[in-house]
Copies of this chain bind each other. A is one copy, B any other.
Amino acid sequence: MKIRIGILGYGNLGRGIECAVKQNDDLELAAVFTRRKPDTVKILTEGVGVYSVSNVPEFKDKIDVMILCGGSATDLPEQTPEYVKYFNVIDSFDTHANIPKHFNAVDAAAKASGNVGIISVGWDPGMFSLNRLYANAILTDGEDYTFWGKGVSQGHSDAIRRIEGVKDARQYTVPVPSALDAVRNGENPALTTRDKHTRECYVVAEEGADLDIIENEIKTMPNYFADYDTTVHFISEEELQKNHSGIPHGGFVIRCGKTGKNGENKHIIEYSLKLDSNPEFTSSVLVAYARAAYRMSQEGQSGCKTVFDVAPAYLCRESGEELRRHLL
């Protein structure tokens, strides 16, 4: 009996989930749900239906874990507490400041229904959070550093696209190599926002647009760019398609800490990701946690969980005995 997975929302993340499910023999895709007209959505998996979100409740006994692929701003705060009434659910809620509120809403609904909801799964929050936690638990006297990139920031790319005269744009967040080196060398540097990352923008302008005005608007945009060293490159639509159509990302979580009688010994723990496709990697994490949600639910657990609450063994298909033999 395979674990039956549902996908709610078929964008980059939904498509990534579909591919990740195929890589795991113990999982099967049961259905895809969309807010669009179902017959306009073509999926990769033959024989699996696409349904309107209004039909979700009918699948109560046909899906073991529903993976919610909506956005954190407006979709997930409503969807996760709603759908955990019917299924075990997984989301990738990533608005760090609102996690406590989201947790409480999902926890109440999940406990009432007896299902498991695992929130904020992915790589940050997600694998990066886990590595921050493990490193903090081990090196209690130390400093944390997180760097992101090199990678495409969807939010920053969107912000550039909203500027008048901009046809399309791609923004890369890039860690500053000298800052990364100082951290790795255990120098425990104090780093400002500007010290840690630069922002590289590739912009396609409308014909006749004033490039100086666009560049200035980008570089002075509060929150998004003003606090960073930002470079703007104007390129053609063809070049954007050819060289900047991927969605790579990644980053580094580093903790430097001291041990010993007088803190005389230094230790550096580093975790890094280099990802060709941000949504496909995130999907692969979500699918592993879907397996965990199913197993925890089968054991009678319920309520809201995060990656901090999931024992690692739940993520793998193999038995505890196999894991101890091959991976420990």
- Are A281 and B268 interface neighbours, CB within 8 A? no
Stretch at the interface among A19-27, A71-79, A158-166, A213-221: A19-27
State the number of copies, please: 2
Write the nearest CB–CB distance from A308 to chain B, whole angstroms: 4
CA distance A268 to B264 in the complex (A): 33
Asked if B273 and A272 make an inter-chain contact with CB atoms under 8 angstroms apart, the answer reads no
| A80 contacts the other chain (CB 8 A) | no
B138 and A23: CB pair below 8 A? Answer: no
Distance of A66 from chain B, by nearest CB (Å): 20
Q: Is A112 an interface residue (CB 8 A)?
A: no
Residues of chain B within 8 A (CB-CB) of A141 are 23
Q: Is the CB of A271 closer than 8 A to any CB of chain B?
A: yes
Binds B, one of A188-196, A224-232, A317-325: A317-325
User: Among the listed stretches A34-42, A96-104, A168-176, which one makes contact with chain B, having 4 or more residues with CB under 8 Å of it?
Assistant: A96-104
CB pair A267 B274 closer than 8 Å: yes
Residues A312 and B281 in contact in the complex (CB < 8 Å), given A100-B325, A321-B100, A325-B100:
no
Docked complex Cα distance between A203 and B23 (Å): 51
The answer to whether A284 touches B23, judged by C-beta atoms less than 8 angstroms apart, is: no
Q: Are A277 and B259 in contact (CB under 8 A)?
A: yes
Decide if A320 touches B311 in the complex (CB within 8 Å).
no
Q: Pick from A49-57, A125-133, A149-157 the stretch touching chain B.
A: A125-133
Contacts of A306 in B (CB 8 A): 324, 328
Within 8 A of B (CB), among A280-328: 280-281, 283-285, 288, 306-313, 315-316, 320-321, 323-325, 327-328
Q: Say yes or no for A270: interface residue by CB 8 A criterion.
A: yes
| A284 & B259 in contact (Cβ 8 Å cutoff) | yes
Task: Tell me if A211 is interfacial: C-beta within 8 Å of chain B.
Answer: no
Judged by a CB distance under 8 angstroms, whether A198 is at the interface is no
Q: Take A288-B138, A309-B313, A313-B309 as given contacts and tell me if A266 and B260 are in contact as well, using a CB distance cutoff of 8 Å.
A: no
For the complex, is A136 an interface residue (Cβ under 8 Å from B)? yes
B23–A140 contact, CB under 8 A? yes
B264, B271, B311: the one contacting A271 at CB < 8 Å is B271
Interface pair B315/A133, CB less than 8 Å apart: yes
Task: Report the bound CA distance from A127 to B139 in whole Å.
Answer: 13
Least CB distance, A102 to chain B, in whole angstroms:
10
A288 nearest in chain B by CB position: B137
- In the docked arrangement, what's the CA distance between A99 and B139, Å? 26
Inter-chain contact A309/B311, CB cutoff 8 Å: yes
Query: Is A269 close to B, CB under 8 A?
Result: yes
- A2 within 8 A of partner (CB): no
Establish whether residues A260 and B280, one from each chain, have CB atoms under 8 Å apart when the complex forms.
yes
* Residue in B closest to A257 when the chains form the complex, CB atoms: B284
Contacts of A275 in B (CB 8 A): 265, 267-268
Residues of B close to A285: CB separation below 8 A: 138
Interface pairs A-B: 5 shortest CB-CB? A137-B315, A265-B276, A265-B277, A308-B313, A259-B280
Residue contacts A-B, CB under 8 angstroms, 10 given: A99-B325, A136-B327, A137-B288, A137-B312, A265-B275, A265-B277, A267-B275, A268-B274, A270-B271, A307-B328
